[in-house]
Amino acid sequence: MTIACGVAVLGSVNTDLVIRNVRLPVAGETILGGEFYRALGGKGANQAVAAARAARVPVAFVAALGDDTLGREALEALRRENLDLRCVQMIRGQASGVALILVDHAGQNLISVASGANSRLCSQHFDQISDAELGGMRVFLASLETPVATVAHGLARARRAGLTTILNPAPANCEILAGELLKTVDVLTPNESEIAILAGAEPLPFDGDTSRIERWALELQERGCGAVVVTLGAEGCLVVADTITRVAAHRVEAVDATAAGDAFSGALAAALAEGLPLLDGVRFASAAAALSVTRRGAQPSLPARSEIEDFLSRPLPPPEFTPRNTA
């Protein structure tokens, strides 16, 4: 196999079954009148598509599908995204992944996932990329809707090959705190809830105070990971690297935030693969995420590079505070 790609993405593929309504139900409640639609999703597929649409470099995708109608439809849709799919496997006897998503009028969501074939993605699938091919790539991106052991293997191989490694710890899974996994991560991209869970704290809505988020990010760095980029939705993001920098968000009217985090991580991978410094990559990724929330659906919402570049030409509010050293 010969893969000449700049980015490798390892992750999940789901079919998203979405109901949009005026608000989210509470436990035991039924709400009538919602609008239903179906779209291809899964964090891995979303991130691979986001990277492919945003990048000037080719993107390879490593994933597992069920040998069923949903899997075949997903594979056909992914082929239209100009991805290298030779490491996407269809697993006989397994159902493809499905996500049930509820979205309210403000774009906030609740998601429940039946992993199906995603739970069968293993190290051997990633190892179809040879060491020589992997060494020719620049960035490796993974999330946590597939087995942590598979993600850990991919991160370790990519790090040994000299790639910049990005881990989007979604859904949050404290298994990544064990062993050496964090030491193989150059950039960690949690949202405010995910970093709270990794810190053993209760996830709470962001109240504008970044002090505890900064503390948690520094604790993760002490465990061995590199930069921590915490996405804060409409409040932008916090970049904790050699300095701490708040990056402001573009103001948009949110319709569906389902793929915002995936748009961010995929576009960040594309930017870093092209050699952009981290902060410039974060600004590029923030524009992609902002665009994505203005459209419904996961992959249908992911912007093309030309859209991101046009969006970046618009005025952006300044960060709320200036960079400062983490020492």
- Residues labelled as active-site residues: 262
C-alpha–C-alpha distance, residues 39 and 73, integer Å: 11
Torsion, Cα of 91, 263, 137, 279 (10° steps): -150
Token reading at 318: 């300044």
Burial 53-88 (b: 16+ CB within 10 A, else e): bbbebbbbbbbbbbebebbeebbebbeebebbbebb
Is the distance from CB of 216 to CB of 195 less than 8 angstroms?
yes
Q: Which backbone phi and psi does 313 adopt, to 5 degrees?
A: -75, -10
H helical segments located in the chain = 43-54, 69-79, 123-126, 131-135, 148-160, 192-198, 211-222, 260-273, 278-292, 305-312
Q: Which backbone phi and psi does 310 adopt, to 5 degrees?
A: -65, -40
C-alpha–C-alpha distance, residues 71 and 33, integer Å: 30
Is the distance from CB of 96 to CB of 116 less than 8 angstroms?
yes
Residue keyed to tokens 């910049």: 164
Token reading at 272: 């870093």
* 99 Rama sector, left if φ>0, alpha if ψ -120 to 50, beta otherwise: beta
Helix or strand (DSSP H, E) at 270: helix 260-273
